[in-house]
């Protein structure tokens, strides 16, 4: 093995009664890409947060380059050449790229020298690592893939030799993820050490040299990536054999539950994002929408769920019209049996400062089950939340815990449990397994198939093409705001990829 860049010895960390890390020992070779995998809540991010100085270990030792290191703050980590790119970016939205890069690393009060130095250094880093980004661009105007590059540039600008990335592809399109991997390989070739925290096992197999597996706060195995398999890693993560494919019978489609005709939606800039779309979903089937992110899928879901007003078109729910161009709102649609699991669970699906039990009824708080006269029935709400926690295996099993303190995958389960347990006739789901580990993916997929088999109509939007192909009975492909093709579940990845790129559609128009 390469000389160790990082050694973690006997690391323990608890949060109250929850033991997040238990006697962790880990060695990461210099100049390698080392993956750390585990279920949501396995302790991966906590361990790396200890290495970066966000948390202090209750006991144990950290060595950097063979020398004992005291890391009490992120500044200590940065001084030791450790940088971290978080799952949710730490950028100031209304600052430029350049301003974000120098923030906290300024060398003069008036910033003139700092800005000149940073501009020159960014040009070098861009050339060296293929991290091209306009230094004068405003962060909030950049796509998420470029925002991630800014985070990497921030770390490199501060002299990082060891770069930790926490779930870096959770918000990226497949093309953006491929570009990120090319950047990581270049960093490795330049002698940098990369630590990759992820739940996506195929990415681990594609990019890492070594992989360590965590389960319930312990380190259970470390493998050379070339000597292991996706199946072995999945079993080590979960502690049992995991089904890596979706098992489902033939769909028995019934009556049309949701009919969309000539729907047009514009974004806040007035740009048409959904352009004259028509389709329907029947009881007892899953319809998947495939497409590269940014081709109108998000706006389509927001319009159907009542979050965003449509410009024109008609929608029928159970044969009755919904006015999405006027007075419809999410509450009315919920009352009529349409449930929505939004793509962005943090900003739309949850209130992170609320307790888990409060989020478990969000939007349904006027249901008589949760009321005692004019007041909320707190005991009933908490008992209901505990039932959902048990049924959906939400961890930790604490309905009083602030939702911000759950891992991303468990936050997703909170939203899914809330919407699915209302027994909706129509369920629309955006990115059902974004940021979710392999065991939870298996669980969520089984739940969606069960809803289909109960006669529900399910609409799924996902950037994960394997997920769309596995779950869907029919697949619609969106490109540039329009549906450019419909295929069955037997469609190949290549066939769908051409449609997603607009190639067949463009050729047909010639």
CA angle, 200 then 464 then 39, to 5°? 30
What phi, psi does 148 have (nearest 5°)? Answer: -65, -40
Of the candidates 367, 348, 362, the residue with the CA atom closest to the CA atom of residue 307: 348
Q: CB of 106 within 8 A of CB of 114?
A: yes
How would residue 74 be classed by pLDDT, with cut points 50, 70 and 90?
very high
How would residue 427 be classed by pLDDT, with cut points 50, 70 and 90?
very high
How high is the pLDDT of residue 174?
Answer: 66
Cα–Cα distances in Å, from 60 out to 80, 308, 406?
Answer: 18, 51, 25
What domains does the chain contain, in order, with CATH numbers? 4-238 (3.40.50.300), 243-337+424-510 (3.40.50.300), 349-421 (no CATH)
How high is the pLDDT of residue 226?
Answer: 95
For the residues of 272-327, what is the DSSP string, one character each? EEEEEEEEEEETTEEEEEE--TTSSHHHHHHHHTTSS--SEEEEEETTEEE-TTTT
DSSP H stretches of helix in 286-437 = 297-304, 330-335, 356-359, 378-391, 408-420
Average pLDDT over residues 467-472: 91
Please give the DSSP secondary-structure letter assigned to residue 3: P
Q: Which of 330-334, 393-397, 427-431, 463-467 ranks highest by mean pLDDT?
A: 427-431
Percent of the chain with pLDDT over 70: 94
For residue 100 the two structure tokens come to 């974000």
Q: Does 112 or 385 have the greater pLDDT score?
A: 385
Please give the DSSP secondary-structure letter assigned to residue 332: H
pTM of the model: 0.71
pLDDT digits (tens, 9 = 90+) for 210-256: 999 999 899 999 999 999 998 899 889 888 776 656 778 888 999 99
How high is the pLDDT of residue 316?
Answer: 95
- Please check the confidence at residue 96 and state whether its pLDDT lies above 80: yes
Question: Which residues are CB-neighbours of 327 under 8 A, at least 6 positions away?
Answer: none
Mean pLDDT of the chain: 89
Q: Which of 108-112, 409-413, 426-430 has the lowest mean pLDDT?
A: 108-112
- Please check the confidence at residue 489 and state whether its pLDDT lies above 90: no
pLDDT digits (tens, 9 = 90+) for 33-59: 999 998 877 889 899 999 999 999 999
Of the candidates 55, 123, 121, the residue with the CA atom closest to the CA atom of residue 84: 55
pLDDT digits (tens, 9 = 90+) for 354-379: 999 999 999 999 999 999 999 999 99
How high is the pLDDT of residue 509?
Answer: 42
Q: CB of 312 within 8 A of CB of 339?
A: no
How high is the pLDDT of residue 251?
Answer: 87
pLDDT digits (tens, 9 = 90+) for 113-155: 777 788 888 888 888 887 888 888 999 888 777 888 888 888 8
How high is the pLDDT of residue 109?
Answer: 56
How high is the pLDDT of residue 128?
Answer: 82
Of the candidates 330, 314, 280, the residue with the CA atom closest to the CA atom of residue 476: 280
Strand runs labelled E in 205-248: 210-215, 218-224
The enclosing H or E element of 68 equals strand 67-69
How high is the pLDDT of residue 504?
Answer: 60
pLDDT digits (tens, 9 = 90+) for 493-506: 888 888 887 876 54
Coil vs helix vs strand at 248: coil
How high is the pLDDT of residue 211?
Answer: 97
What phi, psi does 210 have (nearest 5°)? Answer: -140, 150
How high is the pLDDT of residue 176?
Answer: 74
How high is the pLDDT of residue 180?
Answer: 86
pLDDT digits (tens, 9 = 90+) for 266-299: 988 899 999 999 999 999 999 999 987 788 999 9
How high is the pLDDT of residue 99?
Answer: 86
- Please check the confidence at residue 459 and state whether its pLDDT lies above 60: yes
pLDDT digits (tens, 9 = 90+) for 166-224: 888 766 766 777 888 988 999 999 999 999 998 778 889 999 999 999 998 999 999 99
- Please check the confidence at residue 510 and state whether its pLDDT lies above 50: no
């Amino acid at each position: 093995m390469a000389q160790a860049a990082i050694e973690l010895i006997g690391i323990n960390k608890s949060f109250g009664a929850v033991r997040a890390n238990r006697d962790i020992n880990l060695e990461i070779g210099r100049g390698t890409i080392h993956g750390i995998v585990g279920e949501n809540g396995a302790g991966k991010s906590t361990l790396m947060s200890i290495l970066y100085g966000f948390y202090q270990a209750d006991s144990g030792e950290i060595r950097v380059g063979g020398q004992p290191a005291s890391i009490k703050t992120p500044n200590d980590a940065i001084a030791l050449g450790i940088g971290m790119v978080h799952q949710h970016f730490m950028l100031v939205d209304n600052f430029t790229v350049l301003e974000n890069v120098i923030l906290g690393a300024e060398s003069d009060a008036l910033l003139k020298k700092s800005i000149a130095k940073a501009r020159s250094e960014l040009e070098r880093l861009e050339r060296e690592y293929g991290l091209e980004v306009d230094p004068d661009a405003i962060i909030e105007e950049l796509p998420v893939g470029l925002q991630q590059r800014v985070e990497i540039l921030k770390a490199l600008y501060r002299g990082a030799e060891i770069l930790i990335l926490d779930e870096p592809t959770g918000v990226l399109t497949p093309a953006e993820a491929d570009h990120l991997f090319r950047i990581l390989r270049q960093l490795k070739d330049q002698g940098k050490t990369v630590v990759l925290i992820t739940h996506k096992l195929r990415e681990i197999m594609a990019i890492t040299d070594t992989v360590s597996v965590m389960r319930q706060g312990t380190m259970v195995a470390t493998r050379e990536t070339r000597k292991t398999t996706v199946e072995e890693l999945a079993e080590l993560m979960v502690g049992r054999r995991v089904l890596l494919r979706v098992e489902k019978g033939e769909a028995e489609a019934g009556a049309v539950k949701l009919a969309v005709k000539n729907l047009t939606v514009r974004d806040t800039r007035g740009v048409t994002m959904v352009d004259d779309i028509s389709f329907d979903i029947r009881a007892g089937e899953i319809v998947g929408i495939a497409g590269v992110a940014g081709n109108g899928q998000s706006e389509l879901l927001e319009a159907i769920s009542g979050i965003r007003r449509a410009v024109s078109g008609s929608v029928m729910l159970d044969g009755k019209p919904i006015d999405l161009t006027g007075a419809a709102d999410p509450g009315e649609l919920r009352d009529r049996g349409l449930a929505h699991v939004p793509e962005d669970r943090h900003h739309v699906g949850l209130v992170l400062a609320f307790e888990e039990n409060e989020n478990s009824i969000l939007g349904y708080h006027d249901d008589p089950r949760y009321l005692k006269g004019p007041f909320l029935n707190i005991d009933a709400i908490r008992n209901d939340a505990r039932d959902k926690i048990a049924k959906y295996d939400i961890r930790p099993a604490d309905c009083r815990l602030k939702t911000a303190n759950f891992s991303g995958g468990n936050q997703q389960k909170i939203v899914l449990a809330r919407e699915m347990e209302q027994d909706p006739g129509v369920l629309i789901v955006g990115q059902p397994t974004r940021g979710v580990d392999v065991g939870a993916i298996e669980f969520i997929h089984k739940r969606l198939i069960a809803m289909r088999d109960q006669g529900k109509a399910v609409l799924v939007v996902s950037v994960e093409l394997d997920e769309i192909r596995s779950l869907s009975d029919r697949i619609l492909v969106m490109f540039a705001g329009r549906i450019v093709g419909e295929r069955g579940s037997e469609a190949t990845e290549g066939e769908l990829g051409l449609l997603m790129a607009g190639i067949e559609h463009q050729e047909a128009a010639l």
